[in-house]
Amino acid sequence: MISFIDILGIAVAMSIDAFCVSVCIGVKYHQPKHYLRLGGSFGFFQFLMPVLGAVAGRVLLGYTDNLKYLAAFILFFVAFNMLREGLQHKECRVYLSDPTVGLSIIMLSLATSMDALGAGISLALWDGGIVSASCIIGVVCMCFAFGGVHMGRSSSKYIGHYAEYAGSAVLAVIGLKFIF
């Protein structure tokens, strides 16, 4: 059974990518409208993707009894990718045009929420309400995006790598909990 702390851990881990992107964008774009656009869009997509993933997971549950192993594998895969991205030490990209409008914000929101789709498949095993869990994930992501823009405005770009490491560790531990 997944606890509230597990959901919060998943929410924090899923919000790391949005935080890192927000830090990079916040270096140049940090007016209140940028906070609201990034937070609202990232939060909405982080809410939506676990719901879609859970629906897919419930469908898969009808075809296999070993969904917990699939869920653990997905979380390990996401954790590995987060760790790999953190180890690559990518530099922040400074955008020439405002990335918080139009197709740019949609693509950034989709890119940062793909991990949440996989987490949603894992959440299909949870007996609790997927919508409430997704709301928690969305709100946490929105707060992380706000914090990322603020951090980007006033700090160095190196904090994002450490956040990737922490997020991957949290997902790996939750994946282990599915198995044992």
Task: List the chain residues with pLDDT less than 70.
Answer: 1, 64-68, 70-71, 74-75, 78-79, 82, 85-86, 89-96, 127, 155-175, 177-180
Taking every pair of Cα atoms in the chain, the longest distance, rounded to a whole number of angstroms, is 50
Task: Look up the pTM and report it.
Answer: 0.74
- CB count within 10 Å of CB 95 equals 15
Question: What is the pLDDT at residue 153?
Answer: 80
For residue 89, give the amino acid letter. Answer: H
How do residues 85-121 score in pLDDT, each as one tens digit?
667 766 555 555 788 898 889 988 888 888 888 888 7
C-alpha separations of 169 from 24, 80, 124, 142 in Å: 23, 9, 21, 21
Question: What is the pLDDT at residue 22?
Answer: 87
Q: Alpha helices of 27-129 — where are they, by DSSP H?
A: 32-61, 67-87, 102-123
Q: In angstroms, rounded to a whole number, what is the distance separating the alpha carbons of residues 108 and 138?
A: 15
Query: What is the chain's percent helix, strand, coil content, to nearest 5?
Result: 80, 0, 20
Residue 89: which of 173, 12, 165 has the closest Cα? 165
C-alpha separations of 39 from 13, 26, 51, 110, 158 in Å: 16, 12, 19, 13, 21
Asked if 45 and 109 touch (Cβ cutoff 8 Å), the reply is: yes
Asked if 23 and 157 touch (Cβ cutoff 8 Å), the reply is: yes
**Helices H, strands E: what count in the chain?**
6, 0
